[in-house]
């Protein structure tokens, strides 16, 4: 009896078990944090690309603006400028030009780098740029 009681009170291996449990939990949490940050960063990049493609498109104004007439975007040149920007960045997207408004929607696939438990996703970003005519001497 005395020998079996002594074995139950023996704590050899206790620290190794806790180290394994805590280590696995830290690796799991670290992987989730890393992949979540990566996903947020990629979503930000996709949105920034949409904004910049819209900016490139909005710079293609019609010649009427120079004459002081209503501000409109040259539809074909604006769409081409946005598509060229998207192509240069390697991000898929669609461009719509309607009068003075340019809408760019981008999308990019994302998959986890460390934790396969997280599901792959398609991240999207949308930018709506509206050209506004400002008269000389006034602030927008």
For the segment 5-13, the average pLDDT, to the nearest whole number, is: 61
Whether 24 has a pLDDT exceeding 60, the answer reads yes
Which is more confidently placed, 13 or 118? 118
pLDDT at 66 > cutoff 60: yes
**How do residues 71-125 score in pLDDT, each as one tens digit?**
778 889 999 999 999 999 999 999 999 888 899 999 999 999 988 888 999 999 9
**pLDDT for residue 43:** 96
**Confidence at residue 106, expressed as pLDDT on a 0 to 100 scale:** 97
pLDDT number for residue 63: 72
Q: What is the pTM (predicted TM-score) of this model?
A: 0.76
Q: What pLDDT was estimated at residue 138?
A: 65
d(CA 106, CA 53): 9
CA separation, residue 59 to residues 3, 97, 98, 103, 138 (Å): 87, 12, 14, 13, 20
**pLDDT at position 13 over 70:** no
Mean pLDDT for 10-23 is: 79
- As given in the structure block, the two tokens for residue 41 are 């960063």
Asked whether residue 137 carries a pLDDT value surpassing 80, the answer given is no
Q: What pLDDT score was predicted for residue 115?
A: 86
């Amino acid at each position: 009896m005395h020998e079996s009681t002594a074995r139950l009170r023996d704590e050899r291996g206790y620290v190794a078990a806790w180290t394994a449990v805590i280590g696995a939990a830290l690796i799991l949490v670290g992987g989730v944090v890393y992949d979540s940050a990566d996903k947020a960063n990629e979503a930000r990049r996709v949105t920034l690309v949409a904004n910049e493609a819209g900016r490139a498109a909005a710079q293609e104004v019609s010649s009427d603006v120079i004459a002081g007439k209503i501000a409109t975007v040259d539809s074909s040149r604006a769409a081409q400028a946005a598509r060229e920007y998207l192509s240069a960045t390697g991000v898929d997207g669609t461009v719509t030009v309607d009068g003075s408004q340019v809408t760019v929607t981008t999308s990019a696939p994302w998959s986890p780098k460390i934790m396969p438990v997280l599901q792959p996703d398609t991240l999207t970003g949308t930018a709506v740029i509206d050209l506004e005519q400002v008269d000389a001497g006034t602030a927008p």
